[in-house]
Amino acid sequence: MACLRCWVEYETAKTIVIRNKVVGSVFRLIQFLIILYVIGYVCVVQKSYQVNDSVISTVTTKVKGTGFTNISGLGAHVWDVADYNIPPEGESSFFVLTNMIITPNQMQSSCPELPNQSTICMSDCDCTEGSSDVRGNGIQTGLCVNYSETVKTCEVLSWCPLEIDTDLPERNILPDVNSSYLKQCEFNRITDPHCPIFRLKDMVAEAEEDFQTMATRGGVLGILIDWSCDLDFPEHYCGPKYSFRRMDNKNPENNVAPGYNFRFAKYYKTTDDVETRTLIKAYGIRFDVIVFGTAGKFNIVPTIVNVGAALTFLSLVSPK
């Protein structure tokens, strides 16, 4: 019978009204903070009334423009996109050649190794025939030969003459190249933040880097595209936001080879049927395009969940 009575009973909470200014003010303040948290943070900032999905994207890039150089060994030269965009296609990335070292007319022969602690010698006894250095340029012949009038190094079998990359050519930017030369829009953080046409110098400046320094040694620059959209508003409000960041370590103390470079060669044969090549050490900026973001749209399920959570919070501070 006791169990039956418990089953059919109904209990209500006893409410006590306390007329006290301090207690009442604290109670209303707590309620106000909870409502402010739910409306301001949960609804406005976090948009928890929406259902969200992440961005799935693919990026296509195109490099255009010409450049002019006048350096020793090469002379006056006009560069188009086929010369400085290597390779022409990439997966969410592209490379722009900004500096290079050219070693022309290399042939398979023997020549003095470049001087360093392991290759400088005094006699043939200091050189080991058949050995190679991982940082060297060829296979030693066992002979100690003159590199210059004052320095001797071990002779190597390699593509000679060897590349000397200690002195990089400096480059200048023409001061009269500005937006007046362009017929279409150009990305600008203030006036055209959505324009997808960028100048190399502007992208490097947006990453708070010096273009002259980065073009000389090369580097890796990230193009970050934030495509976060609130689909409760019209579609024309949904647009990308661009930002730029240097991705590689430019500090020479923490990086064996700061910057970004690689080598490639152009092979040909002389009239004597001797294979020769022109070795090019290319310095440049590799651009990695990174797209991220989320899209949100109103949905009744998360709305009910968050409204219920808000009512639960309010019930915790209700007087009993």
Q: Is 262 annotated as a binding residue?
A: yes
Q: Is 261 annotated as a binding residue?
A: yes
Neighbours of 200 (CB within 10 A): 19
Dihedral sign for Cα 205, 210, 214, 215, please.
positive
Q: Is 26 annotated as a binding residue?
A: no
The residues pairing with 139 across neighbouring beta strands, listed in sequence order, are: 132, 157
Closest to 237 (Cα-Cα) out of 292, 186, 289, 296 = 296
Q: Is 63 annotated as a binding residue?
A: yes
Closest to 38 (Cα-Cα) out of 296, 305, 294 = 305
Q: Is 297 annotated as a binding residue?
A: no
Q: Is 286 annotated as a binding residue?
A: no
Q: Is 263 annotated as a binding residue?
A: yes
Q: How far is it, in rounded angstroms, from Cα 290 to Cα 293? A: 10
Amino acid residing at 304: I
Task: Show binding-site residues for ATP.
Answer: 62-64, 261-263, 281
Task: Show binding-site residues.
Answer: 62-64, 261-263, 281
